[in-house]
Structure 1
Amino acid sequence: MREAIDNKKIIFKVIIGIFVLVWSFNVLNVGFYVDENGLLSIYKGFYQGQRLFTDSWEALQTGGILAYPLLALYYQVLAPLFASAGINIGLVLYMRIVYTICRLLVAIYLYFTIKKTVYEDGAFAASIFYYMFVMGWKNFSYKSYCDLAIMLLICFIIRYQETKKNWYFIFAGIATCVAILAYPTMIIMAFAITALLIVGIYRNEIQKQSLALYIITCFVIGIAVVVYIQCTSGLGNVLNQIGNLGDQDYENGLLYRLGVLLVSYLVFAVIAYLPICAIAIIRRFRYVSEVAEAIVLTLYWFGFLAAVCLVRINSISNSRFIYAILILFFWFPYLAFERKDNEFTRIGAYNNTNSDELYVLWVMFAVSAVSQFVWSLSTNQDITVPGHMAVYVVVADILIITKNKEILSGLVGLINLVALFFMGFWVAEHNGGYEDVLSLRYMVTDGELKGIILLPEDYDANEICYRLVTENVTEDDRLLVAFGSNSTGYLNSNAKQGTYTVFARTQLNTKLLDYYEINPQNQADYVLIDKGNPKYESFLENETGKYLVENYSTVVAEEGDFVLLSR
């Protein structure tokens, strides 16, 4: 009987897994998000030969090192092959496919890693959640590279804990360096892991060789990157220009931003523990069953998610899911410690009876907390940006629930259903919006967005950009797109980028003029401007905008809201 039930569970999981896999690829070509455009343009600039920290002042440019092999494979091998075979795949769709395959492989490795622990019953639910979770958008970026690396780092630590094989920390060091290249501030993670290993050595849980292998691996990769920078950019040139990277464009200083985020975290902690505290208070006066507690927590979580969506019903985005995930992040300590079953035990007394089993889950929590802190240092947005890195704690929550608190299995089901919704039905679009996958769209058949289906207004804008840059700008020219990440000018053009970053705020500051003064050889030959962009009026009033309009006065071509200018 039990074997028959187990077989049915396996069949059910296989069906669910196949459906999620097929659907994830089915909607992979839907929509195009502004930041996806920006990050791919940054990586393309590196592939085109931009030197780190001199030709580019973009803080995230080192991710180009990670993307370079994929871009080289596409441009030198696959793009000509696709063209000759009539395959409708451009750069964007190609990178999405490769990214999704990579995420699938990491999810599979996570599954088999968990299967070899005491939490094997939760392996499927945890790994499929991780696969479905959208790290901003479904493509390579500083977020997704960092996320994949940290998930692998956690897996390697778990495998070490299970096998005590030191060489797992060679892989852990590589994963850490990938995260650092994707998001340089993640260098803090290397020190955090080192500190964690030192504590483990002190407690006789980690061997000294593990620490040595981890440090040596990070050091060797770090030296290799420094040597590369010296051979290409020159360390002297980098030191002279490194000050141009940083927070110059942020409206508020670092301490202010951290303070706001800290307050936000405190608010979410209070919100998370409201039902838990209420249950604890009620238990002082009457019995509350675990079933009732599970129902309350499940309904509270879903009710909170519904409430934050209804507050701004016209702008539901993945950030609403992140809010709900932060509730799960703060619930981890509560779930990790089991309440004593003895009815005479004073309410509120908790006992960690299986600390060895929970060790790897606390590692997930610690790594997540450090990652969120690191991301908080480099963002001028709200808590939802660092909140993405709470995904590992949700994985830990799922493992705890499936092993020790099956009564909360309904919560696990809800979490995965919401993840499926934001992965397969509600997708990121244009300049920060979201639309369902059933909305009217048109398929792009030319350029680097070939194979992507876009909303009508995005489709028209992309077609115009493609025609303007391909018909008038050559690969020997340099192109500046005034609002670079808001249109597809850089992606569709073979020209080199005449800017310090595709995210240049030409409507707010004069940093582009400073860049041209220091690097006159990189000044743009052509400027593409979107007059319909909300930033256009500010652009005309800003010193940089005035300079560009005055010095690039020849109208080369104009179509719709777009105009291409030259000197």
Structure 2
Amino acid sequence: MEETSKVGKIFRILVTIGIVVWAAFTLNTGFYVDENGLLTIYKGIYQGQHMFTDSWESLQTGGFLAWPLLALYYQVLSPLFLSLGINIGLVLYMRIVYMVVRGLIALYIFYTIKNTKYENSAYYAALFYFMFVVTWKNFSYKSYCEMAVMMIICFMIRYYETEKVHYFVLMGIACCVGILGYPTMIIMAVFIGCAIIFGMYQGQVPGKALVAFVITCFVIGGAFIIYLHLTSGLPQAISELQFLGDQDYEESVAVRLGKLLLSYAALAVVAYFPIVVINLIRKTRYFSEYAEAVILTIYWVAFLVGICLLKWDSVSNSRFVYACIILFFWLPYFLREKEKSSYTRIGAYNNTLGNDKGILWMMFTVSVAAQLIWCVSTNQDISVPGHMSVYAVIAVLIIAADDEMEMIGLVRFVIAAATFFLCFWVAEGNGGYSDVTKERWIVTEGELKGIALLPEDYMANQSVYNLVSQYVGEDDYLLVAFGSNSTGYLNSVAQQGTYSVYARTQKNTKLLDYYTMHPENMADYVLIDQSNVKYEAFREGETGLFLLNTYTQEIATDGNFVLLGRGDAQ
């Protein structure tokens, strides 16, 4: 068989090396608007922003996780890179670390699956995970959560293989990483706690496992609360929690959740259409598993290609996520079919989850829980919670690559699609389609050093760098209008004079409320991109009028950017 042959092993090694090299070669390509936004948020925490008071950004807790990496960069590596002439800035450094961490997790997945019945599928599971980048190749609330949940799944499997309780301590740590990355993930901690209690009821998990998990979560949570009290002060932080989030959501949580569930229902219909047809045919005539595998593979490929062709100029990895959701819906069907011919190696497993389908059902259940959690808090479409279908997709690949199945073609098409979105498609600008073949210029100054940008983005970044590096000092406070759309905060040594990089200065007055409560954080300078599509709305809005009437001193201009200072500045 291919999986065990020397030729097959050599081929896999060559494929892996090729993908890793290609991923490394294209790692510096493009720059996505939200990558800029999240790094800016995390940088603010490193600079000393007090959580929930100096910042009203709901995603700021991820800065607690990024702080060690930022400290290593600013205090050690950045001066070293400069002295050695190495063209690596903050953005590229964080991408490198992110992909290294992702690679390490992929290796652990390989080790974990290798020690189950599905050892022949370990390679495909690990390779797909490595390539399934959540929107962009960097740390974010999305990637923190996705990595944390993946580790939770691995620790669950390892516990049922070894029955060592310390894996519940590791689950608690991973769960806290997810919560810090995205606070709504606290629901996942409750879910895991309930799962442990259920396991205790079934006689599969000892009571000390629950104790280990709960104590770990409370210790880490307590440490974070102490940190919060020592920096922001608990009373002040609690009083300002009401300002977190986005005040411009036009729909309630119930309405947003309802729309997302309808989207899932629609994709479920699409997913099960061929399965229903196949089973109707089986009622009247023989239909082989091989024929079913071929039909489902062709159907999945046609679906992915079709949704990409609908709007070729706006293809992004969200299209791949839609296709992954199809696989998510197929998993229960594959598990049901698996029961007919499944077997368990004698002496290999001694509990329910340890058998062949128990592991995969667990992955499906965790995927469902993670997607529901994200549905509760997102204001975006199904592609955002759909990223959490990755665990179910890995389970599908595990089944499909198994010796008993005839769907190796599906596995290879899924791997090929993941390769495209990792190594060829690029997350850039505000989204849409972009690829590594487009002309780009490599940045040589500022925190985007080493990043290859489109010519227009390169010029904009250079203008921003020139202004903030020449006129804004580390003791100043800087406000960047439409902050996530330009690199002003990343390239500046100044403090951030705003409640969030995503402050909607063109749409609401939340910034004015922030300045009223925290006049000490009011910006000394305002950087404005006059070519931004939001500029006209900014000029006409209450916040924009206040800023333009307050910051009347034109310090300098560069390209489409203007740097303004307060009119009362001496």
Question: What interval of TM-score do these two structures reach, taking the shorter chain for normalisation?
Answer: over 0.9
Q: Which runs of 5+ in 1 are unaligned?
A: 343-352
Distance 1:528 1:494 in 2: 14
Q: Deviations over 1:140-180 (max 9, x none)?
A: 11111111111111111110010000001111100000000
Following superposition, the deviation at residue 246 of structure 1 comes to 2.9
Matches within 5 A, 1:375-524: 375-403=374-402, 405-524=404-523
Name the CA distance, whole Å, in 2 between partners of 1:282 and 1:532.
59
The DSSP-based 3-state class of the residue aligned with 1:436 is coil
Higher mean C-alpha displacement, 142-151 vs 244-253: 244-253
Q: Percent identity?
A: 58
* Deviation of the 1:371 alpha carbon: 1.1
Q: Which runs of 5+ in 2 are unaligned?
A: 342-351
1:561 match: 560
**Equivalent residues in 2 for 1:222-233 (5 A)?**
222-233=221-232
**Aligned equivalents of 1:542, 1:564: Cα separation in 2:** 19
Letter in 2 for 1:188: I
Shift of 1:287: 1.2
Q: Deviations for 1:229-274, whole angstroms, at most 9, x for unmatched residues?
A: 1111011101211100134221211111001001001111111000
Q: How does 1:507-546 map to 2 (within 5 A)?
A: 507-546=506-545
TM-score scaled to structure 2, two decimals? 0.96
Distance 2:513 2:339 in 1: 65
* Aligned counterparts of 2:339 and 2:258: Cα–Cα separation in 1: 37
SS of 2:23 mapped into structure 1: helix
Q: Which amino acid aligns with 2:364?
A: F
The answer to which of 538-547 and 419-428 deviates more is 538-547
Aligned to 1:131: 130
- The CA deviation string for residues 275-303 of structure 1, in whole angstroms up to 9 with x for no partner, is 00000111111111111111110010011
Q: Is 1:292 matched up with 2:291?
A: yes
- CA–CA distance in 1 between the matches of 2:529 and 2:243? 26
Q: 1:107 to 1:504 in 2, by over 3 A?
A: same
Alignment-mate amino acid for residue 397 of structure 1 = V
Aligned CA distance change for structure 1 residues 339 and 397 (closer, same or farther; 3 Å) = closer
User: Which residue of 1 is the match for residue 249 of structure 2?
Assistant: 250
Is the 2:169–2:216 Cα contact (8 Å) retained in structure 1? yes
What does residue range 27-38 of structure 1 map to in structure 2 within 5 Å? 27-38=26-37
The one-letter amino acid paired with 1:81 is L
CA distance in 2, matches of 1:101, 1:439: 26
452-461 vs 363-372, which moves further? 363-372
Query: SS of 2:296's equivalent?
Result: helix
CA change 1:274–1:49 in 2 (3 A) is same
Question: Structure 1 residue 357: deviation in Å?
Answer: 2.1
1:199 aligns with 2:189: no
Aligned to 2:344: none
Q: 1:218 matched to which residue of 2?
A: 217
Aligned to 2:348: none
The alpha-carbon deviation at position 529 of structure 1 amounts to 0.6
Using the alignment, how far apart are the partners of 1:285 and 1:60 within structure 2? 55
> Quick one: distance in 2 between partners of 1:263 and 1:4?
40
Separation in structure 2 between the aligned mates of residue 533 and residue 404 of structure 1, nearest angstrom:
55
For the residues of structure 2 that align with 1:340 and 1:89, how far apart are their CA atoms? 52
Counterpart CA distance in 2 for 1:107 and 1:340 is: 28
Distance in 2 (alpha carbons) for counterparts of 1:376 and 1:4 = 38
User: Is structure 2 residue 11 aligned with structure 1 residue 6?
Assistant: no
Deviation digits for residues 417-457 of structure 1 (CA, Å, limit 9, x no counterpart): 00000000011111223311011000000000000000011
Residues 22 and 212 of structure 1: is their aligned pair in 2 closer, same or farther, counting only changes over 3 Å?
A: same
Equivalent in the alignment of 1:347: none
Matches for 1:168-183 after TM superposition, within 5 Å? 168-183=167-182
So what's the TM-score if we normalise by structure 1?
A: 0.96
Partner SS for 2:323 = helix
- Give the match's secondary structure for 1:407: coil
Q: Does 1:276 align with 2:275?
A: yes
Moved over 3 A (4+): 2-5, 339-342
User: Displacement of 1:355 after TM fit?
Assistant: 8.1
Residues 95-137 of structure 1 deviation map (CA, whole Å, 9 limit, x = unaligned): 0001100000000000001100111110001100000111110
Aligned to 1:350: none
Instruction: State the Cα distance separating 1:411 from its structure 2 match.
Output: 0.3
Instruction: Please tell me whether the aligned partners of residues 353 and 362 of structure 2 are also in contact (alpha carbons under 8 angstroms).
Output: no
Change (3 A) 1:391 1:340: closer
> Number of residue pairs matched?
556
Cα drift, residue 359 of structure 1: 1.6
Superposed displacement of residue 337, structure 1: 1.3
Indicate the SS of the match to 2:433: strand
> Aligned residue for 2:550?
551
Give the Cα separation in 2 of the matches to 1:113 and 1:3. Answer: 21
Classify 1:4/1:287 alpha carbon distance in 2 versus 1 (closer, same or farther; 3 Å): closer
For the residue of structure 1 that corresponds to 2:544, the secondary structure is: helix
How far the C-alpha of 1:4 sits from its partner, in A, is 11
Equivalent-residue separation in structure 2 for 1:257 and 1:223 (angstroms):
33
Q: Partners of 2:515 and 2:353 in 1: how far apart?
A: 61
Query: Within 2, Cα distance between the matches of 1:226 and 1:163?
Result: 34
SS of 1:564 mapped into structure 2:
strand
Q: How does 1:330-409 map to 2 (within 5 A)?
A: 330-338=329-337, 356-403=355-402, 405-409=404-408
1:340 and 1:506 map into 2 onto residues whose CA distance is 57
Q: 2:73 & 2:20 partners in 1: Cα distance?
A: 24
**Could you say what the CA RMSD is over the residues aligned between the two structures, in angstroms?**
1.5
Name the amino acid aligned to 2:240: Q
